[in-house]
Structure 1
Amino acid sequence: MPQTLNFQQVDVFSTAPTQGNPLAVVIGADGLSDAQMAAFARWTNLSETTFLLRPTHPEADYRVRIFTTTRELPFAGHPTLGSCFVWLDSGGQPKAEEVVQECGAGLVRIRRDGARLAFAAPALLRSGAVEDEVLDTIAAGLKIQRSQIVASQWADNGPGWVAVMLDSREELLAIRPDYPALKGLNVGIVARWTGPDAEADFEVRALTGDLGAEDPVTGSLNASLAQWLIPAGLAPRTYSARQGTVLGHKGQVGVEQIGEQIWVSGQVQKCVEGNVTL
């Protein structure tokens, strides 16, 4: 029997609509099957689609399931902030000052700061040095010389990110990737943005080798980058990042380390609101 559910499409990590990363959110999706969720996520053809459900953990305010067009993710950053925005906008009331989201990766804390939301970066599933053969694959996929990679680290908090740093923003923006050559690797690229025209401290790009596409603005990658860059002394405890430039977007991501916890923040804009029948 078809169900009609409330629905929103929002733009995450953006101070104005259409400049960040779009997210589709279905509200009250407890009655949907896994197959229905996966089919709708394929149909939206967005990088992620989420489904809000009743929590199963006593500390959680809501539960979210996160789907790409091909698989379900345990955690992702812009779906976390976008789903929280929609949950609050739909009348959700957190049990405490912080919102607690339940997802496949566990419980994620979310802070509200005026128009901004910030999630606590989850622990990395994999970190450490990147193998030589993997760096060779990345260099081939980015169509650059291996020597242009000035630093690297596994930085996986769910989607499988491996991160590399380039010497300049100009080098980063010039990359036109060969996705088949990446052999399914999800590669995050970061470079400092210097000079009088700098509008952020870093420029970031997210190349999803498993999908063969670039993600406009990526919370999970920015979270894992911060967990590498700050302890390594490559970034200060508070910084900003721009992402999506090559795609014509102006994603704005804030990063702040408070104590031992890293928070990733951004604004969310409501673009579409209505009903969906599934």
Structure 2
Amino acid sequence: MTDSHIEFAYVDVFASVPLTGAPLTLVPDADGITDHQMRAVAREFNQSETTFILKPSRPGTTRRLRSFTPTGEEVFGAGHNALGAWLWLATSERLGLDGGLDGDGDGDGTTFSQHIGEDVLPVHVRHADGRAIVTMDQSPPVFGAVVTDRAGLAGALGLREDDLVPDRPARVVSTGAGHLLVPIRDRAAVDRAAPDAARLIAALREVGGEGCYLYTDDTVDGGASAYARFFNPAMGIWEDPATGTAAGPLAALLVADGIVTPAPTGRATVVIEQGHAMARPSRITVTVSGSRVQISGSGLVVAQGTMTLPGAGA
């Protein structure tokens, strides 16, 4: 019944200064932690996601990642939960043990392989201006169901039906996690949204969506493509300041619908603003080349510490 101790870190993802972006709690060297303990730790930290870094369990992979919400749900998409883990690995020099980052800091970087859920996806880590920048592949986009009850969806979001863009459907898109993407008329309406959790959960279940991503082209920065907010009450996430697993699907949808036009190379870059309504502004960059979706960002390790886990039978 001896207590054990685990190390943890707190990472602000998609952030350029501390206390912005998406906060992530991260537990490295998590191989000896049971599923029950992982869920309990995620509940204790009460972040939108807590990520555990494990040794690879598949040949040719660099790390295995597992992420849990405060309600104990395991999530499998490659978003800020994974990007924050690789930022920590880079800044703590763990990747150097694997033949990792280029030593001269010229920005070329190295590609690794991460195992998340059933997926094995490449992740590229490089240095620029003294900071680690991570670029991750997500799964190819899958375009799912469209909402038919627009008035009901608007009501579930605390909005009017005319707050929704009239000629663009709300639909589920997945690049690893399927989220409902809802086009909204302007930034004021996005900020005014106040979802009814029970009604939104019902609306999401009807179309097979995990979370809900409200977006508009009325951005803060004219260089961005969309301004967004994310809600996922079924997973215990009321609002998330930066959601890579939703930004990837949104970028794929904007390109597929011709809202964002690819360059002559066939590559489109989509910048999404999120977190402003939570006073944690985030900027997420997604590139789309055909069916390949990649998300990029940086961040900072802002805290590190030790947590005590109770011994068996406690």
- Equivalent pair of 2:140/2:292 in contact (CA under 8 Å): no
For residues 14-61 of structure 1, what are the alpha-carbon distances to aligned partners after superposition, in whole Å with 9 as ceiling and x for unaligned? 111111111111111111110010000000011000111111111210
Counterpart in the other structure of 2:222: 198
Counterpart in the other structure of 1:143: 158
Q: Note closer, same or farther for the CA distance 1:132–1:51 as it changes in structure 2 (3 Å cut).
A: same
Q: Note closer, same or farther for the CA distance 1:155–1:95 as it changes in structure 2 (3 Å cut).
A: farther
Taking structure 1 as the reference length, what is the TM-score of the superposition? 0.90
Counterpart in the other structure of 2:15: 14
**Partners of 1:207 and 1:44 in 2: CA distance:** 19
Q: CA deviation at 1:118?
A: 1.6
Q: Note closer, same or farther for the CA distance 1:131–1:202 as it changes in structure 2 (3 Å cut).
A: closer
Counterpart in the other structure of 1:104: 117
Identity %: 29
Per the alignment, in what secondary structure is the counterpart of residue 155 of structure 1?
Answer: strand
1:248 maps to a residue whose letter is A
Taking structure 2 as the reference length, what is the TM-score of the superposition? 0.81
Gaps of 5+ in 2: 101-109, 205-210, 262-267, 310-314
Q: CA RMSD in A?
A: 2.1
Per the alignment, in what secondary structure is the counterpart of residue 16 of structure 1?
Answer: coil
Larger radius of gyration: 2
Q: Note closer, same or farther for the CA distance 1:143–1:234 as it changes in structure 2 (3 Å cut).
A: same
For residues 52-92 of structure 1, what are the alpha-carbon distances to aligned partners after superposition, in whole Å with 9 as ceiling and x for unaligned? 11111112101111000111112240011001112223312
Are residues 1:246 and 2:273 paired? no
Q: CA deviation at 1:129?
A: 4.1
Q: Note closer, same or farther for the CA distance 1:220–1:212 as it changes in structure 2 (3 Å cut).
A: closer
Per the alignment, in what secondary structure is the counterpart of residue 42 of structure 1?
Answer: helix
**Partners of 2:88 and 2:25 in 1: CA distance:** 10
1:266 maps to a residue whose letter is G
Counterpart in the other structure of 1:83: 85
Counterpart in the other structure of 2:25: 24
Per the alignment, in what secondary structure is the counterpart of residue 95 of structure 2?
Answer: coil
Counterpart in the other structure of 2:146: 130
Counterpart in the other structure of 2:258: 233
- Equivalent pair of 2:55/2:63 in contact (CA under 8 Å): yes
Q: Note closer, same or farther for the CA distance 1:250–1:259 as it changes in structure 2 (3 Å cut).
A: same
Q: Note closer, same or farther for the CA distance 1:234–1:105 as it changes in structure 2 (3 Å cut).
A: farther
1:14 maps to a residue whose letter is A
* Aligned positions, number: 275
Gaps of 5+ in 1: none
**Partners of 1:219 and 1:187 in 2: CA distance:** 13
Counterpart in the other structure of 1:163: 181
For residues 233-265 of structure 1, what are the alpha-carbon distances to aligned partners after superposition, in whole Å with 9 as ceiling and x for unaligned? 122411211101111111111122245422111
**Partners of 1:252 and 1:246 in 2: CA distance:** 13
